[in-house]
Amino acid sequence: MNHEIIESEPMKVLIVDDNKDNIELIYQILEDECSLETANSGNECIDKSLTYQPDLILLDVNMPEMDGYETIQILKQNDTVKSIPVIFVSAYYTQSSMIVKGLEQGAFDYLAKPVDEDILLAKVHVVKRLKMAEDIVLQQKNELLQINEKLEKADKLKSIFLASMSHELRTPLNSIIGFTGLMLMEVAGKINDTQKDQLNRVKRNANHLLELINDVLDISKIEAGMIQLEITEFNLSDLLNEISQSIDPEINTKGLKLEIILPDNPVTIISDKRRIQQIVMNLMSNALKFTENGSISCRLTEEHSEKINIDIEDTGNGICPDDMRRLFEPFQQINMDYTSNYKGTGLGLYLCKKLSNVINGNINAESQLGQGSKFSISLPVILNQSNIEE
């Protein structure tokens, strides 16, 4: 951003005094470099401040009917003119108590009568420089707002593009997975062990790629405001049991213990079943990935009639305190020193956070390095679609 201080319109000054000679003196000093307006009373000062909108008010203190102190109090209570700097001009300003009183009332500065030309000009120049600085700050603020609007628009267009591209990528990838499965089933003819091994690798990597594309697609849809929810009534206890059964083979392969802790009675909620399944499955997979020994538990509790909690706890590697603050940020692989064997995009927890926000939930994490982690999800029992976060 390039900013130049431009000498454009002269500064507007309102001179307020009940003595015409005092007004004339100040007028002659400032007329060559300021645009001037005059007022003879406090009431006239207030009226002209609203219509003239000066950059500076030179205000006499001792005036009949309404003195300078009363005038400035009214000015400072009006949102339209309260920010206009006021310099008190008074013969009483030889007394320190009067100076303090004026400053306490909100005056910017003070001048003693008779007015010294050089001091008056110096004080006016100070106000002018401050105004120019404020104008530059305001200009910068407006430029930054415009840049921010452009960035938000570009980010939304990016998300829409990614959502569209991710959708297009899934179609051929599903075909690859499908036809690879058919070949492994030997529908088109026998294959040898080497071919089976290679095809299994193709299918495994294609499934992994599909998971990544699905993550990108979901995040892009959320950020583009294109996410659609399917709110139904379902048994959350049954859903957690289904998820545990789906990861049982991997649990057994690693020799871990999986514990699903549910209330005695079934827990029925009204929400988006698929999104909750995504969140829990992602957190369970994370726990499984980073736990080599011990156990993983999933506990469902009813906080009260309106909230339920799901706690997923493991005895895995744990997370460094320094990494906790960026845990839910995108493209973050935490603790690289000890997670170098675990590959990923760093989108999983970011997606969980985004999805939990979409269904008016909240997700938190606690962890100690070397002692495991605990992720807690708080969800409304009844998701009111009219209150869903954008």
Q: How confident is the model at residue 1 (pLDDT cuts 50, 70, 90)?
A: very low
Is it the case that residue 387 has pLDDT exceeding 70?
Answer: no
What pLDDT is recorded for position 365? Answer: 92
From CA 314, how far away is CA 320, in angstroms rounded?
15
Return the pLDDT at 381. 93
Between 49-53, 99-103, 243-247, 375-379, the lowest mean confidence (pLDDT) is in 99-103
Percent of the chain with pLDDT over 90: 39
pLDDT for position 55: 92
HSE of 210, CA atoms in CB hemisphere, 13 A: 15
Say yes or no: 155 and 290 in one domain: no
Residue-level pLDDT at 388: 53
Residue in the structure block whose two tokens are 């500065």: 109
Residue 342 pLDDT > 70 = no
pLDDT at position 151 is 83
The per-residue pLDDT for 94 is 61
Model confidence at 336, pLDDT cuts 50, 70, 90, reads very low
- Residue 253 and residue 328 share a domain: yes
Residues 78 and 158 in one domain: no
**382 and 242 fall within a common domain:** yes
- Enter the tokens of residue 274: 């698929």
pLDDT at 295 over 90: yes
Q: Which of 30-44, 203-217, 376-390 has the highest mean pLDDT?
A: 30-44
Given a cut of 90, is residue 378 above it in pLDDT? yes
Q: What is the pLDDT of residue 3?
A: 44
Query: What mean pLDDT comes out for the span 125-129?
Result: 89
Give the range of the structural domain holding residue 79, as residue numbers without chain letter. Answer: 11-115
How far is residue 355's CA from residue 165's CA, in Å, rounded to a whole number?
20
Please indicate, yes or no, whether residues 310 and 176 belong to a single structural domain of this protein.
no
Task: Considering only residues 343 and 350, tell me which one the structure prediction assigns the higher pLDDT.
Answer: 350
Q: Residue 33: is its pLDDT beyond 70?
A: yes
Last residue of a domain, one of 95, 115, 135: 115
* 3-state secondary structure at position 240: helix
Which tens digit of pLDDT belongs to each residue from 207-251? 878 877 777 778 777 877 777 889 999 999 999 999 999 888 889
Q: What is the average pLDDT value for the chain, to the nearest integer?
A: 85
pLDDT at residue 371 in the model: 87
Q: Does some domain include residue 95?
A: yes
Same domain, 358 and 276: yes
The two structure tokens encoding residue 21: 């000679």
Q: How confident is the model at residue 339 (pLDDT cuts 50, 70, 90)?
A: very low
What's the number of domains the chain is made of? Answer: 3
Same-domain pairing of 213 and 253? no
pLDDT surpasses 70 at 51: yes
CATH of the domain at 344: 3.30.565.10
- For residues 361 and 248, membership in a common domain is answered with yes
Residue 2 has pLDDT above 70, yes or no: no
Residue range 316-320: average pLDDT? 87
| Tens of pLDDT, residues 133-142 | 888 888 888 8
Picking from 284, 169, 152, the residue whose alpha carbon sits closest to that of residue 217 is 169
pLDDT at position 169? 78
Q: Is the pLDDT of residue 333 over 80?
A: no
Q: Which residue has the tokens 């050089």?
A: 118
One domain, residues 215 and 257: no
Q: Cα-flanking dihedrals φ and ψ of residue 259, to 5°?
A: -125, 125
Considering the domain architecture, whether residues 363 and 271 belong to the same structural domain is answered as yes
Least confident interval from 72-76, 152-156, 351-355, 372-376: 152-156
Average pLDDT over residues 135-152: 87
Q: Are both 237 and 331 inside the same structural domain? A: yes
pTM to 2 decimal places: 0.54
Nearest by Cα to 59 from 18, 16, 103:
16
Which residues in 129-163 are b (16+ Cβ under 10 Å) and which e? eeeeeeeeeeeeeeeeeeeeeeeeeeeeeebbebb
- In this structure, how many other beta carbons lie within 10 angstroms of the beta carbon of residue 107? 21
β-strand 56-60 against 86-90: which pairing, if any? parallel
- Burial string for 185-213 (b: 16+ CB within 10 Å, else e) reads eeeeeeeeeeeeeebeeebeebeeebeeb
**E strand or H helix that includes residue 270:** strand 268-272
The reply to whether 86 falls in a domain is yes
